[in-house]
């Protein structure tokens, strides 16, 4: 599964991937380069993230008071909370990079990013932006929770360029301009075995808040089970499956075979059920090759079902190649959806 990374443009160059279990109790501060990815230990309670030796998460203080619920702040009436800037994000599992004074520090877990303007309590449509008031209000709030200031200033352009180059502009958006003009305040603390980082970002026109809380990834994606296939066939007359094959081949991967075995369960539970097995590909590559590949893959599904004792008279395999798309082929996720097998009830 590919993870998309978004680099926001109205605020400093923090990265974010928009993908929860127990996080790991210890945060590893081993000296590595600043762009290493986070790793987790399933036997402990806090996410372990490797970063530059100049920033040691273990040195951060524990929360000094009850901090409430994520993202750990409220919005006063003089802040306009309705005006987003197109870069607002909230996720129960993402990746966000905080600038800590020497390098960017990657944190995986809960993520909150939102831009704000100023509002007049007496007239919601008006309000003169006050950068100092915005920054100081949230800085003092985070400090009252026990957070420690990690960085204050502007992010050097070469650091943004370095981050941009290391990510190779792959699957994220960058619209920051030629120099870093936003002012940044980064705070950090620990709470209940988790690392929490805040950034207050501002300039003369607007502000933004970034919050990240370490959390390990919880896998929720699995194969479609027999009961769902049966339900789809009864209600829709077809079931659309992403069956994993070896790259550019018709041989099943282990988890692909598991899906086919679920199809066999459905067929065994209803002796009268007959199916067309239709194979499709995305639009990458030669159309004739894709057509043949889709036929071969459909036939692999059929032959695997025959091996499971299903009578051949109940099954027909067809290949349609790069046709009848159900998703956008210009995206990675769209291509994945188009590489599919459809079961059609006869």
Q: Per-residue pLDDT for the chain (346 aa), expressed as one digit of tens each?
A: 333 333 333 344 344 433 333 333 333 333 333 333 333 333 333 333 334 447 899 999 999 888 999 999 999 888 887 666 566 788 888 878 888 998 888 888 898 988 888 877 666 557 788 999 999 999 999 999 999 999 999 988 888 878 777 654 443 333 333 345 689 999 999 999 999 999 999 988 888 899 999 998 777 667 899 999 999 999 999 999 999 999 889 999 999 999 999 999 999 999 999 999 999 999 988 999 999 999 999 999 999 999 999 999 999 999 999 999 998 887 777 888 999 999 999 9
What pLDDT is attached to residue 181?
Answer: 67
What span, in angstroms and rounded, lies between the C-alpha atoms of 104 and 266? 51
The whole-number pLDDT of residue 333 equals 76
**DSSP 8-state class, residue 132:** H
Show Cβ contacts of residue 196 under 8 Å, excluding neighbours closer than 6 positions. Answer: 63, 72, 147, 188, 189, 190, 211, 212, 213, 214
Nearest partner of 130 among 210, 211, 202, 209, judged by Cα: 202
Whether residue 299 contacts residue 317, with contact meaning beta carbons closer than 8 Å, is answered with: yes
Question: What is the Cα–Cα distance from 184 to 100, expressed in whole angstroms?
Answer: 10
Give the C-alpha distances (Å, rounded to integers) separating 53 from 50, 105, 228, 265.
Answer: 9, 11, 49, 54
Domain-wise residue ranges, the chain: 5-214, 226-345
The DSSP output letter for 152 is E
- Residue 181 structure tokens: 């003009």
- CA–CA dist 249, 64 (Å, integer): 57
pLDDT of residue 123: 66
CA distances from 127 to 74, 81, 133 (A): 19, 12, 13
Q: Which residues pair with 238 in a beta bridge?
A: 344
Candidates 3.40.50.300, 3.90.45.10, 3.40.640.10, 3.30.1330.60; CATH matching 226-345: 3.30.1330.60
Contact 199, 98 (CB under 8 A): yes
């Amino acid at each position: 599964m590919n993870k998309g990374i978004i680099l926001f443009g109205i605020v400093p160059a923090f990265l974010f991937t928009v993908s929860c279990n127990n996080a790991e109790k210890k945060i590893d501060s081993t000296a590595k380069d600043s762009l290493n990815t986070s790793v987790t230990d399933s036997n402990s309670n806090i996410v372990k993230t490797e970063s530059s030796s100049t920033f040691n998460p273990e040195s951060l203080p524990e929360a000094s008071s009850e901090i409430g619920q994520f993202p750990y702040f409220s919005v006063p009436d003089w802040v306009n909370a309705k005006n987003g800037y197109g870069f607002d994000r909230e996720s129960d599992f993402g990746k966000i990079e905080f600038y800590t004074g020497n390098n960017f520090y990657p944190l995986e877990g809960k993520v909150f990013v939102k831009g704000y303007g100023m509002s007049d309590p007496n007239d919601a449509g008006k309000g003169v932006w006050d950068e100092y008031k915005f920054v100081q209000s949230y800085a003092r709030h985070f400090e009252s929770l026990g957070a420690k200031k990690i960085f204050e200033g502007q992010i050097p352009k070469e650091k943004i360029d370095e981050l941009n180059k290391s990510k190779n502009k792959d699957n994220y958006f960058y619209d920051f301009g030629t120099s870093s003009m936003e002012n940044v305040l980064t705070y950090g603390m620990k709470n209940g075995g988790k690392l929490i980082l805040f950034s207050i970002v501002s300039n003369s026109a607007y502000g933004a808040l970034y919050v990240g809380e370490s959390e390990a990834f919880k896998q929720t994606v699995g194969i479609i089970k027999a009961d769902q296939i049966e339900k789809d066939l009864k209600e829709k007359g077809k079931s659309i499956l992403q069956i994993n094959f070896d790259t550019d081949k018709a041989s099943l991967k282990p988890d692909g075979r598991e899906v086919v075995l679920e199809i066999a369960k459905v067929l065994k539970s209803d002796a009268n059920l007959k199916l067309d097995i239709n194979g499709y590909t995305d639009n990458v590559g030669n159309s004739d090759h894709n057509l043949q590949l889709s036929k071969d893959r459909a036939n692999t599904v059929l032959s695997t079902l025959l091996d499971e004792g299903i009578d051949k008279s109940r099954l027909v395999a067809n290949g349609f190649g790069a046709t009848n798309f159900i998703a956008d082929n210009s995206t990675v996720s769209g291509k994945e959806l188009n590489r599919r097998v459809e079961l059609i009830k006869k």
